[in-house]
Amino acid sequence: MERVNIYDQISGNKRMSYILFIIFFIIAFILSYIISAYFGGGYIGIGAILIFAVIWMLFSYYLGDKAILAINHAKEVRKQEYPHLYNTVEGLSIAAGIPMPKIYVIDDPSPNAFATGRDPRHSSVAVTKGLLDIMNRQELEGVLAHELSHIKNYDIRYMTLVMVMIGLIGILSNILVRMFLHGRGNRRGGGKGGAVIILIGILFAIIAPIIAQMVRFAISRKREYLADASGALLTRYPPGLASALRKISANKIPMTKANPDSAPLYIANPFREGFFDNLFSTHPPAEKRIKALEAM
C-alpha cells in the first residue's frame, strides 16, 4: 500500500515542478508584455524579461537549495566536527537507499531541521544546534529520517522551486504595485497608465489563486504525514520521531536565523504560533502527527 503512495508522491512532485516552470514562464511572458507596453521596451524589453525569467528558472533549479541554505545561515559541516550527526545521516541514507546528502548546521538554539535540493543526488539536510543539544539518539534519528523521506520523495525539489520562484514573483509584484501606485517610471502617455493598472490588476486576480494553489500543494499536510510515516519505516521506531515532535512543540524560543519565506520547509514552524496560525497554518498540528505516529 505505502509503496504505491510514495511512488505517486515522487511522480506528483516531478509533474508539479514542470507545471510550476510553465506557469512561471507564462506569468513572466504576460508581465513582460505589459511592462514593455507601458515603458515602451518593444520586443527587446519582452526578450530581456523572458531571458531573465529563464535564468531565474535555471537558478532556482540548480542553485535554489544553496540560496535557501544561505538565507537560513546554514553552514556545511565535516564529519570530524559532528561525527554523531554524520553517522546518523549516513546510516539512514543506507536504509533509504539514497546517496548521502550534504550536512549543514544552523547556529540557533531553537530545535528545528529542514531538507532541500533538487533530487537525492543533489540534496542537503540542515539542523539547528538546538536540535542537536536536546535530542537523544532515537529522537535525532526520527527527525533526520523525516527529512531524508522528503529527499527520497522529491518533496525537496518542488518545495525548493516554490520557495525560490514564488518568492521572486512576490518581490516583483510588490515592486510593480508600488511603482504604479506612486506613478513613477518613464511614462509616455498619461492615458495609458490607467489601462495598465487595470491590466495588472486583472493579471494578479488571475494568477493569485493559481499561486496560492501551488503554495498550498507545497505545504500540504499530506506531505508531512507521509514523510513522518516513511521516516518511521526507515528507523523502524515511530516513538523516536513522536518524542522529538513533542520536544520541538514544547520549545517556546522562536528561531532567529530562519528566513520567514522558507518556514514551510522546516519540520516544525520556526516562529511563534500566532493567532492566525490555526487558519493559515503552514504545518500540521504536532499533536495530530504524534497521535498518528503512536498509532503505528
Site of interaction with another protein (CB under 8 A): 1-3, 5, 83-84, 87-88, 90-92, 94-97, 225-226, 229-230, 232-233, 235-238, 296
- Looking at beta carbons only, is 237 or 266 nearer to another protein? 237
- Looking at beta carbons only, is 3 or 252 nearer to another protein? 3
**Smallest distance, another protein to C-beta of residue 96, A:** 8
In whole angstroms, give the CA distance from residue 244 to residue 146. 11
Q: If you ran DSSP here, which 8-state letter would residue 180 be given?
A: H
- Looking at beta carbons only, is 217 or 237 nearer to another protein? 237
Q: Does residue 147 have an active-site annotation?
A: yes
- Looking at beta carbons only, is 53 or 131 nearer to another protein? 131
**Smallest distance, another protein to C-beta of residue 225, A:** 8
Is the CB of residue 57 less than 8 Å from the CB of residue 24? yes
Is the CB of residue 200 less than 8 Å from the CB of residue 118? no
In whole angstroms, give the CA distance from residue 283 to residue 245. 12
Residues in a beta bridge with 221:
none
- Looking at beta carbons only, is 80 or 278 nearer to another protein? 80
- Looking at beta carbons only, is 135 or 168 nearer to another protein? 135
Q: How far is CA 20 from CA 13, 25, 107, 251, in A?
A: 10, 9, 33, 35
Out of 139, 141, 147, 224, the active site residue is 147
User: What proportions of the chain, in percent to the nearest 5, are helix, strand and coil?
Assistant: 70, 5, 25
**Smallest distance, another protein to C-beta of residue 141, A:** 8
**Smallest distance, another protein to C-beta of residue 14, A:** 18
| Cβ-Cβ contacts under 8 Å for 201 (sequence gap 6 or more) | none
> Which residue from 85, 185, 86 is spatially nearest to 135, judged by alpha carbons?
85
**Smallest distance, another protein to C-beta of residue 18, A:** 22
CA-angle at 258, arms to 257 and 261, nearest 5°: 145
Count of CB atoms within 10 A of residue 281's CB? 13
**Smallest distance, another protein to C-beta of residue 216, A:** 20
Phi/psi region, residue 190 (left: phi>0; alpha: psi -120 to 50; beta: rest), is alpha
Q: Count each helix (H run) and each strand (E run) in the chain, helices first.
A: 11, 4
| Enzyme catalytic residues | 147
